[in-house]
Structure 1
Amino acid sequence: MATLKSLFSRLPIRWKLAVWSSLLLCILFVLYNGVQYFTINQWMVSEGKVSIRKSMNELQTLLQEKHLSAQEIVNSRRFVENLNDRHQMIRILNQQGVPLLSVSNELPEDWFLPQAAHSTQIMTAWHLEDQVLIMRSPLTSDHFTGTIEIINNMENIEKISDKIKGVVIAGGIGAIILSALGGIFLSRQLMRPIQSMTDTMIRIRKKGLHEERVQVSDNNDELSNLGKVFNELIDQLERSFLQQKQFVEDASHELRTPISIIEGHISLLNRWGKHDPAILDESLRVSVQELERLKGIVNDLLELTRAESKNLEQDVPAIDISHTIQYTLTNFNMLHPDMVFRSELTLLEQVQVHITPQHLEQLLLIVLDNAVKYSGSSKEILVTGTLEQNEVFIHITDYGIGIPAEDLPYLFDRFYRVDKARSREQGGTGLGLAIAKQLVKRYNGNIRVSSNEHIGTTVTLCFPAYRV
């Protein structure tokens, strides 16, 4: 048993499904036919009892109505023979159980001994391999007291039962074959999408994710949905791998540049700049500048990692959003006194948002810093707040150089810059908007950018709002 169980456990799922489905169908068929065979067999036995009772009632009625004596009963053989059926024996016994009249139609008289009865009895008995039905009933009239005994061989019923049994067995064998074939077909149909996914995974392992997908049918069933989810997962993985690859390449490039500059100046100092004050000052100044940029890149990467690793913030107390925005604008204006910051926050009064003041200030600083860098000749930044359907919107608008339409979908990618040369001159790591996007997501918010080239850019922060 343990060996069979171990062997079955090593079978592929396809064959397990085929075996179990075939076994289940066979069990159901056997149970159904077994119940059907038993029911028909009992029905035929019941019909035999009805027939023998009918013969007994007819015989009793005729003999009692005629008030026959013992001798007259003996002389009524022809009448009893007419009532007798095939494979049946009728015996009329006296009070002592001695047969006075015995009529048999293809049934040996020595199979069963005569027996007197004081009450009506009906039973089944066996003689070797033959099943018989025996009925005994007392006979009482003015001139005679005895017993009528009818013995019926159920050979015809057994023949019909044997034929039904043969049909059931043949049907069972056919059911086993058909259920096995049906189980194999069913298992193949069910396992086809899974096998397709397995083959796709093998191809992905050999060739990579590119253009390797499961062929999904138009059927809206669970396996088709599983294939669709698998393809969506592979698409997401491919996008994640491409983004990760791009991130590594961009991070390597961004980190290599300041390191190469610092390395160059240190080599210059090591060769002949140690005793030249001008070269020494220049190299130290550039190295410090590049170290600051390198430090900024590392800090931004750490901040982005923290923003992506944490789940959505819960149980964060609500803050007065208009107050926090105005406080941030005032502080930021001190860093850029040449800029004009206008705010229209009247609609946000008495409105609160579940976000920490530090994170809201960080978001505003990221967006305001970009607005200042790319404001061009315009020195004006507009910050407005609106409330629509229990959502608060913070719009930060500059009137600078704008962003080309083809660059808008990539603004939140890591290290992405619209104009790399200009961005490098103005500073920044290209991680600000990526950090902002992750921070906004932590508070069930959204961030989007709309821009017209040479006209200006508007960045919108959206959060669920709560009125005081």
Structure 2
Amino acid sequence: MKKWTLQRKWTYASAISIFLSFLMMCIILYFSLYNWMLISEKKIAQNTLNELVSFFESKGPIISIQDIQRNKTLLNQLVNQEQSVRILNADGIEVLRINDVSPFPNFSPEILQEFQRERVDGQLLFHKVAEVDFGLFTGYVEISHSLENFSHLMDYIFIAMVIFALIALFLSALIGYSLSSILLKPLKELRNEMQEAKRTKFSKEVKFQYVTKDEIGELLTIYKELMNEVSETITRQDEFIQNVSHELRTPIQVVEGHLALLNRWGKNEREVLDESLDISLTEVRKMKLLIDEMLKLAKNERTDELLESLLYEIVLSLQNKYRILEPETIIEFAGDEKVKVAVPATTLEQIIRNLIENAIKYNENKPHIYVKVTNNELKTIITIMDNGVGIPENLLPKIFDRFFTVDEARTKPNGGSGLGLSIVKSLVSEYKGSILVESNEKGTKFDIIFPEFNKRI
């Protein structure tokens, strides 16, 4: 039974419950009808006996066979009801029998208050004895009322109820199966949807629709919410892996560059050794902070504390890095060196660094990058301009899509993965900022706007 499907359980349960209800109703109806008809038979027999006693007492003291024959009403009643009557004297000897169709039990002079039901010679009957006294005759009148028609009728009713019960069992099973098919159809579709989601690793949207506001509708709502959470979690995990691989590339390149520098001539140069080790350790610490920030972003978590970063120090740090990684690249800073932005330093460095890397990759000249900051009481604007190949106007709406890259024929051979600008957009949005872009054949300009989250020292 544990391996039965829900539809099978539902079918059997509904069939058995409906059948038992119908069977109980039939049993109650049968016994009610049985008792009612038995009482009716007893009343008919009692009326006949009363009429017999009245007839004999009214005709006394002398009564003849002709008197009995002339009472057609009484005789017809005896014949129609299959009743037999016999007259016995005081000694219990039978004197007269009328309509000999129903047998009598052995006579007992005991006067019965109620009809007795007995089976005599294989026939079921009611019988009763009453005293009669008319004229010179004193004796008994005994009536035998056959219950054979009653028995046959109850047998027919019983057979009919059995047949109806079997029909009810079949119909209840059919109705139960039909109802279960209709009511369980949404659950089957939901099961198929879940199997498809499992097969596609939750990459497809939930297509199953169910508009009825019942338990299944609530289940579907919960399932959709769960699917969205699972899909979002998987998406964030994938993005996290891609972002980490993208963002750790530059710090690793810096560390690798300094280790290569040490390997070539820094072993004997104490100043070069100390500088390279300090920079490498700094980069490792930044990588740890970067991973922590990206983990928070992947989990959709962000501290409510407004961590402030000095933009000038970040640009200065990037200048030092790219002096080793891209010696031909020029990075200039313009604006107030004391402007702080309420964004963690690792995050703000990610944003600026990704834009600088794009400016280097998508450039046919010596990269010249300007980082400018302006602010007022309402907003801080960080502008990054380059002298690269530019972005076609029709592609500007797509550049922040994940894995989107501009025509690689217009870029350096080591073109990007299409994640940099997507990460920039995500990080800027995470800290309530916005980003605007303008581009032509002379270069590209990005404006990053952080409203109301700035402070001067």
TM-score, normalised on structure 2? 0.65
1:84 aligns with 2:75: no
Deviations along 1:39-91, whole A, 9 cap, x unmatched?
2222211111121122122223333344x23x627664423535523321112
**Equivalence for 2:173:** 180
Structure 2 residue aligned with 1:206: 199
User: Would the aligned equivalents of 1:91 and 1:100 in 2 still touch at CA under 8 Å?
Assistant: yes
Q: Which of 116, 120, 140 is equivalent to 2:109?
A: 116
* Contact 1:132–1:154 (Cα < 8 Å) also in 2: yes
The 1:187–1:122 alpha-carbon spacing in structure 2 relative to 1, beyond 3 Å, is: same
- After TM superposition, give the deviation of residue 379 of structure 1 in Å: 4.5
Partner of 2:381: 400
Q: Distance in 1 between matches of 2:291 and 2:167?
A: 74
- Residue identity over aligned pairs, in percent, reads 22
Q: Is 2:252 aligned against 1:259?
A: yes
What residue number does 1:133 align with? 126
AA aligned to 2:10 is: L
* In 2, Cα distance between equivalents of 1:264 and 1:37: 100
**CA deviation map 1:352-374 (0-9, x unaligned):** xxxxxxxxxxxx8869x97xx99
Counterpart secondary structure, 2:79: coil
**Which of residues 2, 12, 16 in structure 2 aligns to 1:9?**
2
> Which string of whole-angstrom CA distances, capped at 9 and with x for unpartnered residues, describes residues 71-128 of structure 1?
6276644235355233211123333333332212532x4x422333435321211235
- Structure 1 147/268 Cα, relative in aligned 2: closer, same or farther at 3 Å? farther
1:269 to 259, 262, 266: 262
Residues 211-222 of structure 1 correspond to what in structure 2 (within 5 A)? Answer: 211=204, 213=206, 215-222=208-215
* 2:128/2:142 contact within 8 Å kept: yes
- Which residue number corresponds to residue 104 of structure 1? 99
Is contact 2:127–2:144 with CA below 8 Å preserved after alignment? yes
- C-alpha displacement of 1:250: 1.3
After superposition, residues 311-350 of structure 1 pair within 5 angstroms as 338=338
Which runs of structure 2 are paired with 1:218-237 in the superposition (5 Å)?
A: 218-237=211-230
Give the partner amino acid of 2:99: S
Please give the alpha-carbon distance, in whole angstroms, between the structure 2 residues aligned to 1:83 and 1:379: 120
Distance 1:340 1:275, change over 3 A: closer
Q: Rate the CA distance shift 1:58–1:309 in 2: closer, same or farther, 3 A.
A: farther
For 1:309 and 1:172, the matched residues in 2 are separated by 69
Once residues 459 and 129 of structure 1 are traced to their aligned partners in structure 2, the CA distance between those partners, rounded to angstroms, is 109
Name the SS of the counterpart of 1:125 in structure 2.
strand
CA change 1:39–1:455 in 2 (3 A) is same
- Say if 2:236 and 2:299, in contact at 8 Å, map to a contact too: no
1:317-353 residue CA offsets vs partner (Å, 9 max, x unmatched): xxxxxxx99xx99xx9xx9994599xxxxxxxxxxxx
Task: Give the direction of change, closer, same or farther, for the CA distance of 1:260–1:135 in structure 2 (3 Å limit).
Answer: farther
The AA in structure 2 aligned to 1:270 is N
Structure 1 range deviating more: 285-294 or 41-50: 285-294
Q: Secondary structure at the match of 1:81?
A: helix
SS where residue 220 of structure 1 aligns?
A: coil
Equivalent-residue separation in structure 2 for 1:91 and 1:153 (angstroms)? 14
1:357 is matched with: none
Post-superposition Cα deviations, 1:180-202, rounded to whole Å, max 9, x if no partner, equal 22232233233323322332333
Q: Describe the shift of the 1:148–1:20 C-alpha distance in structure 2 as closer, same or farther (beyond 3 A).
A: same
CA distance in 1, matches of 2:423, 2:296: 22
User: Are 2:240 and 1:247 aligned?
Assistant: yes
| TM-score relative to the length of structure 1 | 0.63
Uncovered stretches (5+) of structure 2, i.e. residues with no partner: 314-335, 353-370, 384-395, 403-418, 437-446
Partner residue of 2:139? 146
Where does residue 26 of structure 2 map in the other structure?
33
Greater radius of gyration (CA):
2
In structure 2, what is the equivalent of residue 93 of structure 1? 88
